């Protein structure tokens, strides 16, 4: 009996041993909060951007509406504007009807004529956008089939925003022969020096005279468009003047980054900012906004980072590290990031024509999170 008792007691002990549970590992009420990547996690983002010069200028609605109608792009990406402006034009038949003796040569004293150049583009000067590599050409049309003799004194004038003359050029054209031609005849071409960024304000033709042959009326080409005309053709690149300064907010909207449900304390956003804009760029601030558009004030960024200006082929690369830190708790949900940037003329880059190749790009951007990402379990 004792043997049996010992035997079954031993078996019972063994069975209980096998099935033993340890109360400290009770699966009920497991705290499933987990912090992943507790020391650091490196998340590459790659290249972001570019913010092109066009993006930049278009961020101002007034400039954008002007540029939309004026600005064109050369095959090499350089931006330019062009315009044709009329100095003087009259219908040949109507004008020659009034000659007292049509059978005799006629000395026609037209007097002074002038025109403004690219008057709409002139508005760009208000935004400190200047003009580089300006080229002005003056053309004339001869509506009769015989050559004419032209005399005039031509003035080309550039003026600044205060209408002070900053550059002028005089052409004296004496006994210039306007040959007989169906097409326009070039009177002169003028390349304004590159350092002159004030727009050509006007072209004046003073003491303009034309000497017509006898029976000129009978030699007018049979065309409804037979005119005595003088007009300018103008092209110019655009440049940003020394006074150029633009503070612009670049909102990055609809992000809906749900960071609030994680416990994030600190992260570093690192990137190389490659700048081919001829502008010094200052990151004044970076603001985060919540779903309702309110600024999230519990997060601080380092700010006032300055990036020196560059140009195509000579980019400046500035390493930038921005620190994001939640003052209390965790970095909340982010729905919008607003980059408050200031762009100013760069003495380093100097005066260069604007082109589509100019931009501001974030290269090799990455995020490093420290302290882990906490997932709150139930």
Partner 1 sequence: MKKFLLQIALFLSAGTLLNAQVYQQGFFLKDYRPVYRINPALFPDSDFIGGFELTRNKVQNYGVSTFYYPTDGGLVTGLHESISADQFLSRIPNTVARNGEIALNLFSYGIRRGDAYHSFEIGFRLPTTMTAPKGIFELLKRGTTDARYDLSDLGVKAQGYIELNYGYGRKLSDIVSIGGRAKLLIAEYGLSYRFTQFDVEKSDAGYTIFSKAEIDLPSSFYKAEGYPDQKISLSDIHAHHKFPLPTGAGAAFDLGVAVTPNEYLTLSAAILDLGGIAWHYGNAAASSGYVYFDGVGPLSYDDLNKDGLTKRATEIAKKFLDGVYPKLRYDKWRVEALPFTANLGIRYTIPSCDKVRVGAIAQYINYKYSPYWEARLGADYNPFKWLDLTASFGRGSFGFLYSFGVSVHVSRFQIYYGLETSTAGTQKNTTSPIDPVHRTWSLGLTYDL
- How would DSSP label each residue in 200-252? EEEEEEEEEEEEEPTTGGGGB-S-TT-EEEEEEEEEEEEEE-TT-EEEEEEEE
Among 35, 161, 181, 294, binds partner 1 (CB under 8 A): 35
Q: Give the x-and-dash track for 7-26 against partner 1 (CB under 8 A).
A: x--xx--x--xxxxxxxxxx
How many residues touch partner 1 under the rule CB under 8 A: the total is 55
Q: What minimum distance in Å lies between the beta carbon of 188 and partner 1?
A: 45
Q: What minimum distance in Å lies between the beta carbon of 320 and partner 1?
A: 15
356 counts as binding partner 1 under rule CB under 8 A: no
Spatial distance between the Cα atoms of 23 and 28, rounded to a whole number of angstroms: 10
- Beta carbon nearer to partner 1, 119 or 253: 253
- Beta carbon nearer to partner 1, 185 or 337: 337
Q: What minimum distance in Å lies between the beta carbon of 73 and partner 1?
A: 18
Omega cis (within 30) before 148: no
90 counts as binding partner 1 under rule CB under 8 A: no
Sheet (strand 148-159) strand order = 106-116, 200-212, 148-159, 165-178
Which residues between 358 and 377 bind partner 1 (CB under 8 A)?
364-366, 369, 372, 374
Q: What minimum distance in Å lies between the beta carbon of 299 and partner 1?
A: 18
Between strands 40-52 and 305-307, the pairing is unpaired
Q: What minimum distance in Å lies between the beta carbon of 313 and partner 1?
A: 20
At 153 the three-state DSSP class reads strand
Q: What minimum distance in Å lies between the beta carbon of 28 and partner 1?
A: 8
Which residues between 220 and 279 bind partner 1 (CB under 8 A)?
250, 252-257
34 counts as binding partner 1 under rule CB under 8 A: yes
- Beta carbon nearer to partner 1, 156 or 358: 358
By CB under 8 A, which span of 32-40, 134-142, 171-179, 212-220 interacts with partner 1? 32-40
Report DSSP state, residue 366. E
- Beta carbon nearer to partner 1, 14 or 126: 14
Between strands 148-159 and 359-370, the pairing is unpaired
Which residues between 36 and 65 bind partner 1 (CB under 8 A)?
36-51, 55
- Beta carbon nearer to partner 1, 102 or 371: 371
Q: Half-sphere exposure of residue 63, counting CA atoms within 13 Å on the CB side?
A: 19
CB of 240 within 8 A of CB of 147? no
CB of 362 within 8 A of CB of 47? yes
At 16 the three-state DSSP class reads helix
CA 235 to mean position of chain CA atoms: 19
Chain position carrying tokens 């609030």: 260
- Which residues bind to partner 1, rule: CB under 8 A? 3-4, 7, 10-11, 14, 17-51, 55, 250, 252-257, 364-366, 369, 372, 374
């Amino acid at each position: 009996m004792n043997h049996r008792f010992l035997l079954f007691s031993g078996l019972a002990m063994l069975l209980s041993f096998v099935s033993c549970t340890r109360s400290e590992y009770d699966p009920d009420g497991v705290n499933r909060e987990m912090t992943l990547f507790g020391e650091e996690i490196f998340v590459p983002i790659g290249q972001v951007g570019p913010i092109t010069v066009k993006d930049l200028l278009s961020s101002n609605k007034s400039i954008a509406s002007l540029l939309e109608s004026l600005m064109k792009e050369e095959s090499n990406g350089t931006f330019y504007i062009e315009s044709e402006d009329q100095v003087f034009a009259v219908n040949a038949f109507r004008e020659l009807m009034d000659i007292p003796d049509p059978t005799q040569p006629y000395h026609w004293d037209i007097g002074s004529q002038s025109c403004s150049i690219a008057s709409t583009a002139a508005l760009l000067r208000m935004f400190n956008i200047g003009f580089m590599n300006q080229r002005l050409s003056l053309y004339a049309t001869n509506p009769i089939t015989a050559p004419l003799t032209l005399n005039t004194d031509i003035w080309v004038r550039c003026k600044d925003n205060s209408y002070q003359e900053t550059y002028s050029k005089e052409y004296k054209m004496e006994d210039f022969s306007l040959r007989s031609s169906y097409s326009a005849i070039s009177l002169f071409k003028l390349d304004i020096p590159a350092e002159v960024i004030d727009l050509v304000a006007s072209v004046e033709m003073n003491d303009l005279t034309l000497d017509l042959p006898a029976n000129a009326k009978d030699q007018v080409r049979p065309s409804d468009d037979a005119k005595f005309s003088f007009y300018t053709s103008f092209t110019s690149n655009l440049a940003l003047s020394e006074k150029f300064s633009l503070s612009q907010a670049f909102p990055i909207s609809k992000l809906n980054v749900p960071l609030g449900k994680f416990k994030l304390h600190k992260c570093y956003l690192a990137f190389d900012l490659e700048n081919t804009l001829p502008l010094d760029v200052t990151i004044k601030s970076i603001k985060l906004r919540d779903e309702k558009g309110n600024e999230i004030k519990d997060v601080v960024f380092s700010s006032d980072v300055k990036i020196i200006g560059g140009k195509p082929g000579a980019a400046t690369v500035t390493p930038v590290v921005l620190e994001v830190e939640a003052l209390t708790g965790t970095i909340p949900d982010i729905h919008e990031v607003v980059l408050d940037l200031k762009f100013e003329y760069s003495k380093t880059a100097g005066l260069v024509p604007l082109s589509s190749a100019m931009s501001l790009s974030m290269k090799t951007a990455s995020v490093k999170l420290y302290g882990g990402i906490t997932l709150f379990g139930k």
